[in-house]
Amino acid sequence: MSRNAQIVLTTLSIGLLAFLSPALADPSGTGSAETDPAAFLAGETTAWRLEVDGVARRALVYRPEATTGGTGSGLMPVLLALHGYGSRAEDFSRWVDLRALADRNGFVLIYPEGLPIAGVADSLHWNPAPASENNKSSSDDLGFIDALLDRLDGPLRLDPARTYAVGYSNGGMMAYALACYRAARFAAVGIHAGTMLAGTAATCQPEGRTRLAVFHGTADGVLPLTGGEGGLSLDAITTHWSGLLTLTERPGLGLVAGAVERRVFGVAGSAESSVDENVGLVVYRVHGQGHVWLQFEIDSHSADDWLWSFFTRR
């Protein structure tokens, strides 16, 4: 799928999430597979299927060239990369190819795939809310993510203290949901061109302190900074999370570098000289960029490299 096609499909995501059919089907067939470590070869991507509560699900799993996570424990850090509305895992992995980043840093890279809306072509999506009678989607994506990590833990020895997620657009909505409902599992999440649904915010009670990095373009015409159609504005999201995590802004770490603006929020009373482990929220506005995976540099580092360094500060 081209970028333009993906962007057009994503324009439908907010509205369609409000009218999701309860009947969902798996696009890739049925069946499940339990694997051993030999099934995941270093430097290769494995298409992996599993069954969750009777529903066939799938993901792409990349095992890096490095086989340990650098702590001496042998446990592997893991990053989930969540696609936007209407995109398959393969499409997203080609567009946002993080394999080189995984090789440099020795983490397992997973591209999970959402489920389609019954009867709607090209409608793979994430349901960023827990199951309830008011939720018109029956896709249990929180349960899927839990099962995916649980079943991959055996063959890949995933590090529970270094589990992260990054999402684009509708995948960013899901990343916010993981920060809300799976904070005990995810140490940090990143959001590219995503929004937080008002319904997710209303029920957001994290058991833990997931750290967040948010990237948004000022020219995003699909999910604009000002919010709308059930999505919060970037300012409202910033206020929500800084209040929820009891963080205070660090003006000295604010940044205006060319087209990039940054706001940093950290734990009150902690050192304020750097973006360290006490920083719980960083928000980037990138002027002139639209509804895309944000590309820019900070201190000669790409946004992707910066994000991984933010994730792993401890």
Residues of the chain with pLDDT under 50: 1-34
Q: What is the CATH number of the domain that holds 295?
A: 3.40.50.1820
Read off the pLDDT of residues 209-225 as tens digits, 9 standing for 90 and up.
999 999 999 999 999 99
Supply the pLDDT for residue 25: 27
CA–CA distance from 229 to each of 4, 13, 222 (Å)?
A: 21, 10, 11
Note the pLDDT of residue 23.
Answer: 26
Sign (positive or negative) of CA dihedral 265, 268, 274, 278: negative
Q: What pLDDT is attached to residue 1? A: 40
Nearest to 26 by CA among 114, 101, 112: 114
**Number of domains the chain is built from:** 1
Q: Which pLDDT tens digit goes with each residue over 55-93? A: 999 999 999 986 555 555 789 999 999 999 999 999 999
pLDDT at 143: 94
- Looking only at the bridges linking them, the beta strands covering 211-217 and 279-286 are parallel
Which H or E run includes 59? strand 55-63
Amino acid 27: pLDDT:
30
Q: Return the pLDDT at 138.
A: 76
| Pairwise CA distance, residues 144 & 57, whole Å | 8
- pTM for this structure? 0.87
Domain that residue 221 falls in:
3-312
Given the structure tokens 């009373």, which residue do they identify?
Answer: 269
